[in-house]
Amino acid sequence: MPKLQHQDLQTSAQQIARERGLDTDSKRKVYLPVIRAYRVGPELVAWADGKNLRELGIYRQTGCYIERIRRNGILANPDGDAVLQMGDDIALVGYPDAHARLDPSFRNGKEVFDRDLLDMRIVTEEIVVKNHNAVGRRLAQLKLTDQRLLLKPGYSQPDRDAYRR
């Protein structure tokens, strides 16, 4: 089919890669968020000291957020009022360097493999642009990952630890 349309597949593929910021000439690295799951142990419960997720401020301190909690077999998206309990399985989302900034109490817990907990869905969202300098530019040109932006639907920018209600 490409020959009938007089298209060079290699040239077309390179053009698409350039448009998406994936060309080999790019000097910039693209980081994708990572999701990891841990079982809440005694160290993490002691570190949390009965505080809810909003009070812990995990996102403000590290750039990671708790996407889901499995408690007593029930999978839920936590809100800011959730308190971590012994035996909870939690899914943490963030860039690799954000995971490295987590308190060791998180990483010292047992890492778990739970397909449902680790399932990260990709969704499309409508974006409202407030900065006129960004209008008409591609997301790759805005270099959002360089600014360590990881936007999650339902969050208000000032209080990133106030989870969906």
**pLDDT score at 155:** 45
- Of 71 and 114, the one with more pLDDT: 71
Return the bridge partners of 38, or none. Answer: 90, 111
Contacts of 30 (CB under 8 A, 6+ apart): 21, 22, 145
**pLDDT score at 157:** 41
pLDDT tens by residue, 29-81: 666 788 999 999 888 899 899 999 999 988 888 888 899 999 999 999 998 89
Enter the pTM of the model: 0.58
Domains defined for the chain, CATH in brackets: 32-120 (3.30.70.1450)
- Going across the sheet that includes 74-76, the strands are 34-39, 89-94, 65-71, 74-76
55: left (phi over 0), alpha (psi -120 to 50) or beta: alpha
pLDDT band at 97 (very low <50, low <70, confident <90, very high): confident
- Please, is 89 exposed, middle or buried when counting C-beta atoms within 10 Å of its C-beta (0-12, 13-18, 19+)? buried
Three-state secondary structure string covering 41-71:
CHHHHHHHCCCEHHHHCHHHHHCCEEEEEEE
Question: Is 60 exceeded by the pLDDT of residue 2?
Answer: no
pLDDT tens by residue, 126-164: 777 777 887 888 766 776 655 555 555 444 444 444 333
